[in-house]
Amino acid sequence: MKSKKSIIQSAISTLELEAAAILNVARNINNDFEKIVLSILEGKGRVIVTGIGKSAIIAQKMVATFNSTGTPAIFMHAADAIHGDLGMIQVDDIVICLSKSGNTPEIKVLVPLLKTSNNLLIGMVGELNSFLAEQADLILNTSFEKEACPHNLAPTTSTTAQLALGDALAICLLECREFNEADFAKYHPGGSLGKKLYLKARDLALSNEKPSISPSASVKDVLIEISKNRLGAVAVVDAANQVLGVITDGDIRRMLENNDSIAGLKAEDIMGRTPKSIQFDALAVEALDIIKQNNITQLLVLEQNTYFGIIHLHDLLNEGIV
């Protein structure tokens, strides 16, 4: 069994080998890469990504990244392709074929079939003297020194190189399309990621009560309003619904600590006069930033200059924004 030191060294060696492979891929970026990006941008079809074995798994990840960043893509398993899945390829589609060696039996069967359809064929390949490299119209070079596997067998360094180059291609396409956060939100409506990109402050405020009170209200009325709405705060507003201040649980505690008698106190006497706020159409994630920066748990929401509602830190937690 390996010692602790040798285990750690093994991990470091693996990462160093894979990092070196990525740097080598970066050095091999050439005019073919630019032509591929422009061909995809100018094309009217989809990107079909295919491979076999571990390369097929990387191909699936590439397709997921393409689709989520504005480049329509479909995965086609190389083995299934020769049993009917070739029918998914349309006239204007571009095919990217991933292979470490470029010489596997499945690739040698598939490539000639792909060539007959006259679709642009891109080979992402580690061996430039291989069958795939010779037949492809354009090359994405993922050549590497050796696998991280001590037997130089298990695909490790080779798949890392493929993964990194696929990401580079997707990001170049994203930037060329000027794909922005709003576009990203359209493709990621679910989960915390999507919510960070589309959930607004108003969406959270609307799910809460809207506690408010006049500046002349008694402390008793303030306590009732805070307790009734369970947000730990109440907005102090004038007749035009303009925010004058806010009273929180903390303000109540400080009032009790600093006053022997509260009989004559009013809301305006204990309110905070510079409450933190956010516009109702701002993103919820911006509300979180304000709450974190100011170490508070409630945030007033405004529509222009009028009171719209309150967001509590728990609202953001419940939505998975934090």
Residue 269 in this model has a pLDDT that exceeds 80: yes
Encoded tokens for 265: 């106190």
Mean local confidence (pLDDT), 230-236: 93
Q: 182 versus 124: which is more confidently predicted? A: 124
What's residue 61's pLDDT?
A: 97
* Mean pLDDT, rounded, for 236-245: 96
Q: How far apart are CA 71 and CA 297, in angstroms?
A: 40
Q: What is the mean pLDDT of the segment spanning 106-129?
A: 94
pLDDT grade for 258, boundaries at 50, 70 and 90: confident
Confidence of residue 13 (pLDDT cuts 50, 70, 90): very high
Q: What is the pLDDT of residues 68-101, one digit of tens each?
A: 999 999 999 999 998 889 999 999 999 999 999 9
Residue 198 has pLDDT above 90, yes or no: no
Question: CB pairs under 8 A, 24+ apart, for 241-244?
Answer: 241/212, 241/306, 241/307, 242/305, 242/306, 242/307, 243/275, 243/277, 243/300, 243/302, 243/305, 243/306, 243/307, 244/215, 244/268, 244/271, 244/273
Q: Model-level pTM greater than 0.75?
A: no
pLDDT, tens digit, for every residue of 138-193? 999 999 989 999 898 899 999 999 999 999 999 999 999 998 877 776 776 666 66
Mean pLDDT of 201-207: 94
3-state secondary structure of 277: strand
Kindly report, residue by residue over 301-311, the tens digit of the pLDDT. Answer: 999 989 999 99
Instruction: Specify the pLDDT at position 309.
Output: 96
Percent of the chain with pLDDT over 70: 96
**Predicted pLDDT of residue 1:** 67
Identify the pLDDT of residue 238: 95
Task: Please say if the pLDDT value at position 197 is more than 80.
Answer: no
Query: Tokens in use for 301?
Result: 């929401």
- Which residues are part of a known binding site? 77
Q: Is the pLDDT assigned to residue 245 strictly greater than 90?
A: yes
pLDDT of residue 82: 85
Domains and CATH numbers, the chain: 7-179 (3.40.50.10490), 197-319 (3.10.580.10)
Strand ranges (E), 37-164: 47-51, 73-77, 94-99, 120-125, 138-141
Over residues 206-227, the mean pLDDT reads 93
pLDDT at 290 over 80: yes
What's the confidence (pLDDT) of residue 19? 95
CA dihedral sign of residues 95, 98, 104, 106: negative
- 111, 175, 184 from 40: Cα distances, Å: 20, 13, 19
**According to the model, what pLDDT value does residue 5 have?**
72
- The rounded percent of the chain whose pLDDT value lies above 90 is 77
The pLDDT confidence band at residue 30, using thresholds 50, 70 and 90, is: very high
Average pLDDT across the chain, whole number: 92
Binding residues for Zn(2+): 77
User: Are the C-beta atoms of residues 121 and 137 closer than 8 Å to each other?
Assistant: yes
Q: What is the mean pLDDT of residues 123-128?
A: 96
